[in-house]
Amino acid sequence: MLREQTAPRTDLLDYYAQPGPMTDPQEQAHLLNDLPADIPSLVKVVQGVMVHIFWAERYGLTLSDERKDEVNLRFIPKMLARLAALDDRPLTIPRDLERKLVGNCRDHSTLLCAILRQQGVPARARCGFGAYFMPDHYEDHWACEYWHAAQQRWILVDAQLDDLQRETLGIRFDTLDVPRDQFITGGRGWQMIRAGGADPDHFGIFEWHGQWFVQDNLVRDFLSLNKIELLPWDGWGLMAGPGDAVPDADLTLLDRIAALTLAGDAAFDDIRALVEGDPRLHTRPEWWR
């Protein structure tokens, strides 16, 4: 059961208002200056400079293998550098299709998150599943969550879905304030399956689905709460694959992780302590090179 949101501590909001290792723009920070400060305009900025790899053909864009490889850019400064190489105009100017960065839902969400943090707005990317892509199915997906100070609540934003995608998918809710039953985090999906109330095969994307997939998104979402926004295919340690047996000790840890991600901001100290103290959650050194 999701807890009611209450105002987080100041140090928690400060934490999410600062860049993390993935979202620190570093030498590309100037590209994030002079951007609008309202969410609708920022989402338009993200959509104006990025095209989703799986939707490209819907827009009439054929991608080379070299262009498709842009989805492997893990860090925001590298994404921004590639954007500037494709088109060095301000990010507020929408690109032609051929000059947009090729990304996916993680990249749309993480770029919006980086922009908000650059503006001092608490934000975090969330990894989980969208219930709005196919009937009776939870599609692998990412969203961006930001703290709305005036409303005193975290709001989910789907920065990927533009007019064409919303129309194609028949979306009728506000994608700038996604209902919590339409996007569920990895932790919520994990608990649904562990409680026996959901079919694991209804979670995933393409031919990849099952409890192992939910397990991996659970870990990715937990790390995102620690400002480590992994690529959707980064895998190691606690990550599982189809048919992998999961040791009981890992199941116990995964259950705890799920509970922490759903406990609300009251679990912030435990979330931070766990990622620092358990080596099973330490990422691969080569990802940081």
**The pLDDT of residue 2:** 44
For residue 5, pLDDT over 60 is answered with no
Write down the mean pLDDT value for the chain: 95
pLDDT tens digit sequence for 57-91: 999 999 999 999 999 999 999 999 999 999 999 99
145 burial level (CB within 10 Å; 0-12, 13-18, 19+): buried
Lowest mean pLDDT among 15-19, 241-245, 269-273: 241-245
- Nearest-5° Cα angle at 229, 141 to 19: 130
In sign, the C-alpha dihedral spanning 254, 259, 261, 267 is negative
CA distances from 276 to 113, 270, 286 (A): 22, 10, 18
pLDDT tens digit sequence for 139-197: 999 999 999 999 999 999 999 999 999 999 999 999 999 999 999 999 999 999 999 98
pLDDT tens digit sequence for 24-41: 999 999 999 999 999 999
Rounded to 5 degrees, what are φ and ψ at 154? -80, 135
Residue type, 88: D
CA distance 91 to 101: 11
33 burial level (CB within 10 Å; 0-12, 13-18, 19+): exposed
pLDDT tens digit sequence for 265-283: 999 999 999 999 998 899 8
5 burial level (CB within 10 Å; 0-12, 13-18, 19+): middle
- What is the DSSP secondary structure assignment for residue 96, as one 8-state letter? P
For residue 6, pLDDT over 80 is answered with no
Rounded to 5 degrees, what are φ and ψ at 52? -75, 135
**The pLDDT of residue 264:** 85
How is residue 271 written in tokens?
A: 């979330």
In sign, the C-alpha dihedral spanning 209, 212, 215, 216 is negative
34 burial level (CB within 10 Å; 0-12, 13-18, 19+): exposed
For residue 52, pLDDT over 90 is answered with yes
If pLDDT is split at 50, 70 and 90, which confidence band does 289 have? confident
